[in-house]
Chain A
Amino acid sequence: MTLLSSILGLRRDERLLKIPPYLSALLVIVGCVWLCLLPLDEYSRKTYISENALLPGQVHTYFGGSEHNVFRAYRHEVAGLVGKSEQERSQKLGDILRLAGLKVATQKYEYDVSGRKLSGENVYAVLQGPRADATEAVVMIASWKTMNGDINHSGVALLLTLARYMKRWSLWSKDVIFLISGDSREGPQAWVDAYHNAVLPASVEPLTIKSGALQGAVAIEYPAGPWGHRFDKLHILYDGTNGQLSNLDLFNTAVQIASNQMGIGCTLQRMFDHKNTYEERLQTMLRGMVNQGLGHSTGPHSSFIPYHVDAITLQTVGDGWHDEMGLGKVVESLFRSLNNLLEHLHQSFFLYLLLQAKVFVSIGTYLPSAMLVAANFTVTCIALWVQSGRPLNSSKATSAATPGASKEEKMVVIKEKKSVALVPASTLAVVERKMFFPLAYIAAAHFLGLIPFYLFNNSPEHVLRPLFHATTAITLVLPIMTATAVSQFRRPTQQETTLIQCFSLLLLGMFLSALATLNFSLSFIIGVLAVPLSFVRRIPNSTVLPCLMTVILTAVSPMMVATLATQHWHYDVVDLLLQAAQGWHIWGMWTQVVVWLVWFPAWFAGASIVVWSLPGL
């Protein structure tokens, strides 16, 4: 109790207010260093299969022999369909699946985003598991076009071969759905939305045949043409929209089967030549974080993950000696493992960062880094709150006084009936916080973010580039314009600007720490980019510092970051915006909401603070 009271007594100490900026900086540094430590052996772990029922690679695979001839025949059939109309293609693919003895259906879909029509047709077939009661199903996907836009010749052919092959086995205790989607992102999305009876636009057809609850999905991308191409490694994609990941067990099973049973090397995050050094692990992790942070759809599997269907995509990469039959065996073995599942994949991790195909970090180890970065804003917010409640002159008075002199504080005599008491004046002095203007300003800043959010998602393609540049220009000068306009009516007091920053950082810290549990990477990236916001202050009577702060804040504004990032990765900004609009309208991606309603308002408030300290305002 005495300890508590001495801590409470410390609150009045002037020196305490000097600590928060250093504490904030410390939190950010520790957070970033923490992240950089993760690739070390001491902090990462080897992957392991958590769900015993999976038994990866424990079965003998029979895919081979004459199936190879069937595969080659199908590959030529598929090659013959290139350039044909959508309808003809669906018809032919459906016929092949029907010949294999499966129930076949098609689904047309069309999305209208940014003035472009994204349309196609999905063909799918249901293999009713001989031992199944149609309550559970697993999905095999081969999109007609790969993520790179190539025709998925061998992938589709392999799916057709496997469909014919798997139909003849009696061991399936789950239904198997074979899906050939029109493209690699919208098609699977339309299909999985329709499968779960989501609210669909009228241009997306409902499904005519369905099976049970989906337990897992595996997509194959093998764009080798009619004459085949031997590959070197399997590139496994596992991240879904909004940074949700598939269960680590599914990924591990794929790696285990491919590398241990078939001897095919596995790689991830486009790190095709991974030597398992610290730098490469770090780079893998950062690439994974960028993908997760963007929250976009990275392949046909991505659409399944929001529906709690664990899914991965297997891509073939490089020139090597593995052929289609090896890949076929991997897929067969993977489906045999999924077939073993007694309940939904739940044992292993859903939140992890992969450093290499067999090394990962779990959420308990990495979450603190994002939380520390988010906490830095909260620390500054508390400091600003305390600061806003202090009378302006008190800091000068007490800083001049020695600690001994502070005891001679002004005392007030209080009389109640007959009793008399001496009370320090400071306990009675209450600095009224004028909160209306700061609250209104922060609320307005959040509403302001809705405007670019709406415009970017609902403008036609040809407008996007000028719109992007206009938005960049406007958002950069907006703090100056707003601050000037506000100053015309009434110059905000020091306390009000402190409170604006306080509330803005409070919200930012809160949003980011809540976001860190949903999408760690996005929270971390935005947190790091917003770090300068917790160090800007309104400094009157100074020219150099405010100008410096303006430059720094301009560099970390959302629009500038987007511009610089697209330039660095040689990516067209219009493509980025198209993807974002597609994300919002089709995949249910929330990244833009976070950018415009969390990051932008915080940046805007921070920039306004700086602008008010510019001379003449």
Chain B
Amino acid sequence: MSVQRQKLVLFGAAAAVRLLLFTAFPALPDILTGRVEVSTPVSSFKRLQEGLFLYNHNVSPYDGGVYHQAPLLLPIFNLLPNATTYPFFTNLMYIIVDLMGGHMIMKLAETGESTSSRLYVSPRSELRWSSISIGAGYLFSPFTLISCIARPTTVFANLFMLTAIAEAARGASATFILALSFASYISLHPILLFPPLAMLVYDVHSKRTKRSISPIAFSVRYSLAVCATIGGLLLVSYLLTGSWEFLVATYGVRLLLPDLTPNVGLWWYFFIEMFDSFRGFFLGVFWLHMASYVGGLSIRIRRQPLFVAVTMTGIFAVFQPYPSIADSALYLALVPLYRHVFPLMRYTFLSSAAIIYTSFLGPAFYHLWIYAGSGNANFFYAITLVWSLGLSVVVVDSIYAVLRDEWELERPEMKGQEVRMI
């Protein structure tokens, strides 16, 4: 079978499974929409409906403090027929978004940027999965499927992040800037992907043109372009809603965490327990902590900027204020691009067991806490801790494996030897 036909079959199957789940279990989308693991205050489909209702009745969608999502999503969803009466069109849009994401991740895999970049060619570069397998890994991952059925707006951010990464790896500047700006516009934290992805574009361009481009001029140009695009998006949003209050309602909520609804992340419990006087300080600490990874990783793994971007999506899935399994779906789909370093990873079993077990125990403990009343908040929080641990073990282990891969290129005699980290 040719690659094109395989791709067609894959996309057809992915769309069919989603359509089947949407139509055969009509109650499923609403059940999943209500799950805290998928829907967060800043991405929930229910809240989007509320915002849409207010928007359609000429009330500011941010009145009432329920809607915390980007204003531009409203006219897009407004074009579709009402989601409660004609769910098919909304579902179709989400399916298409997922398929586009799959297309992008396959494009990214086809560039081969993960194994051989400008500054670094892995000695294991022949060991990789085909783009079809990686696309299938994304499209058929249960986390992706669930987040498609539950319809949070995170999937749009995911699509734009994937597009930004894929286009950066292909060196397509304009689409990269647009996609990254859209992703940052929707969920703020993707802006942290800018440094590694800009380096990636820089590498790809200099590899292609075979002459040195001034890094300073390059970064200034790209920073200005991203700023201009985001500025444009914000301006359009201002014109659309007629005031700047959306800034506080969307980015303000992400930055200041006023809504402490449980989710799979680490923030909510911590900030419930905290005395108010420390709140500001720890908000700063938590945000700084997440943002600080960009600098360190970009410098240390300068030779593989794509890996820095992939790792950052993992960091987002663990450390962002309102994470959901849709964020983990993105990271776990990108990790297989580094198939060639899997043999170097040491805790694959530990991390996969932690992730798989917690994805079942999480809902069970949430049930014990909220419905059965025989558990309490600590049950669910303990499981989210283990979940985050599992994800961070993947992050740490993959960083170790990539560094070791680089190190073995410098010192081939150390291949297969035990190492000790000092």
6 A-B pairs with least C-beta separation: A350-B374, A308-B373, A514-B360, A419-B412, A416-B412, A514-B364
A421–B413 touching, CB < 8 Å: yes
Q: Which of B360, B363, B367, B374 contacts A351 (CB 8 A)?
A: B374
Task: Provide the residues of chain A in CB contact with B415, threshold 8 Å.
Answer: 414, 421, 423
Q: Does A272 contact B (CB under 8 A)?
A: no
Is A5 at the interface (CB under 8 A from chain B)? yes
State which of A142-150, A210-218, A253-261, A505-513 sits at the interface with chain B.
Answer: A505-513
Asked if B282 is an interface residue, CB under 8 A from chain A, the answer is no
- Residue interface mask A507-545, B partner, CB < 8 A = 1: 000110111011000000000000000000000000000
A244 CA to B414 CA, complexed, in Å: 57
Q: Which residues in B have their C-beta under 8 angstroms from that of A80?
A: none
Q: Report yes or no: B356 in contact with A421, Cβ–Cβ below 8 A.
A: no
Known A-B contacts A8-B346, A518-B368; A350 and B373 likewise in contact (beta carbons under 8 Å):
yes
Q: Does A405 contact B (CB under 8 A)?
A: no
Q: How far apart are the CA atoms of A511 and B368 in the complex, in Å?
A: 15
| 11 examples of A-B residue contacts, CB within 8 angstroms | A244-B372, A244-B374, A306-B372, A414-B412, A416-B409, A419-B413, A420-B413, A423-B416, A510-B356, A514-B360, A517-B368
Query: Please, how many angstroms separate the alpha-carbon atoms of A514 and B367 in the complex?
Result: 11
* B365 to A: closest C-beta gap in Å: 7
Bound complex: CA of A513 vs CA of B365, how far in Å? 12
- Check B411–A518 contact: CB distance below 8 A: no
Whether B361 pairs with A517 at a CB distance below 8 angstroms is yes
Besides A420-B413, A421-B414, A518-B372, 6 other CB < 8 A contacts? A306-B372, A308-B372, A350-B372, A350-B374, A414-B415, A419-B411
Q: For the complex, is A202 an interface residue (Cβ under 8 Å from B)?
A: no
In the bound complex, residues from chain A placing their C-beta under 8 Å from that of B420 are: 1
B86 at the interface (CB under 8 A from A): no
In the bound complex, how far is the Cα of B415 from the Cα of A430, in angstroms? 16
CA distance A419 to B357 in the complex (A): 44
Q: Check if A382 is an interface residue, CB within 8 A of chain B.
A: yes
Residue ID in chain B nearest A1 by CB atoms = B420
Known: A416-B123, A423-B415. A513 touches B357 (CB 8 A): yes
| Contacting residues, chain B, for A427 (C-beta < 8 A) | 343, 416
Contacts of A421 on B, CB cut-off 8 Å? Answer: 412-415
Smallest Cβ-Cβ distance to B123: which chain A residue: A416
Residues of B within 8 A of A244 (CB): 372, 374
User: How many angstroms between the C-alpha atoms of A416 and B407 in the bound complex?
Assistant: 12
- Chain A contact patch, size range: 20 to 34
Prevailing SS type, chain B contact patch:
helix
Q: Does A263 touch B at the CB level, under 8 Å?
A: no
Q: Is B371 an interface residue (CB 8 A)?
A: yes
Say yes or no: is B278 at the interface (Cβ < 8 Å to chain A).
Answer: no
Q: Which residues of B contact A510 (CB under 8 A)?
A: 356-357, 360
Contact of B127 among A5, A414, A430, A513 (CB under 8 A): A430
Decide if A115 is an interface residue (CB 8 Å cutoff).
no
Chain A contacts for B368, CB-based, 8 A: 517-518
In the assembled complex, B276 has its CB within 8 A of some CB on chain A: no
In the docked arrangement, what's the CA distance between A244 and B346, Å? 41
Contact mask for chain A residues 1-32; partner B; CB cutoff 8 A; 1 contact, 0 none: 10001001000000000000000000000000
A-contact 0/1 string along B213-248, CB 8 Å cutoff: 000000000000000000000000000000000000
- A424: chain B residues at CB < 8 Å are 416
Which residues between 286 and 309 of chain A lie within 8 Å of chain B, taking CB atoms?
A: 306, 308
Residue total for B at the interface (Cβ-Cβ under 8 A): 27
In angstroms, how far is the closest chain A Cβ from the Cβ of B381? 15
Q: Which of B332-386 contact A (CB under 8 A)?
A: 343, 346, 349, 356-357, 360-361, 363-365, 367-368, 371-374
Compute the total of residue contacts between A and B using a CB distance below 8 Å: 62
B residues near A, CB below 8 A? 123, 127, 343, 346, 349, 356-357, 360-361, 363-365, 367-368, 371-374, 409, 411-416, 418, 420
Which B residues touch A513, using CB under 8 A?
Answer: 357, 360-361
The interface residues of chain A lying within 8 Å CB-to-CB of B349 are: 382
Across the interface, do B360 and A511 meet the contact criterion of CB distance under 8 Å?
yes
- The distance in angstroms between the C-alpha atoms of A514 and B365, with both chains bound, is 8
Nearest residue in B to A518 (C-beta to C-beta)?
B364
What's the nearest-Cβ distance from chain B to residue A443, in Å?
9
Expressed in whole angstroms, the minimum distance between the Cβ of B241 and any Cβ of chain A is: 35
Q: Kindly list chain A residues whose C-beta atoms are within 8 Å of the C-beta of B365.
A: 517
Closest CB in chain B relative to A494 CB, distance in Å: 22
B-chain residues with CB within 8 Å of residue A415 when the two chains form the complex: 412
Report how far A515 CA is from B371 CA in the complex, Å: 15
Interface residues of A in 402-426 (CB under 8 A from B): 414-416, 419-421, 423-424
C-alpha spacing A515/B363, complex, angstroms: 11
Distance, CA A517 to CA B127, complexed state (A): 41
Docked Cα-Cα span, A415 to B420, in Å, equals 24
Quote the shortest CB–CB distance from A281 to chain B (angstroms): 24
For A430, list chain B residues within 8 Å (CB): 127, 343
Find chain B residues with CB under 8 A from A423 CB. 415-416
Please, how many angstroms separate the alpha-carbon atoms of A424 and B415 in the complex? 10
Residues of B within 8 A of A416 (CB): 123, 409, 412
Q: List, in ascending order, chain A residues with CB within 8 A of B364's CB.
A: 514-515, 517-518
B-facing residues in A333-367 (Cβ within 8 Å): 344, 346, 350-351
* Chain B, Cβ-Cβ closest to A435: B133
Q: Give the chain A neighbours of B123 by CB distance below 8 A.
A: 414, 416
Residues of A within 8 A of B372 (CB): 244, 306, 308, 350, 518
CB distance from A138 to the nearest CB of B (A): 17
Say which residue of A308, A344, A506, A514 sits within 8 Å of B361 (CB atoms): A514
Q: How far is the CA of A533 from the CA of B346 in the complex (A)?
A: 30
Partner of A306, one of B356, B361, B371, B411: B371
Could you tell me the distance between the alpha carbons of A414 and B413 in the complex, rounded to whole angstroms? 9
Decide yes or no: A5 and B412 within 8 Å by CB, A244-B374, A430-B343 being known contacts: no
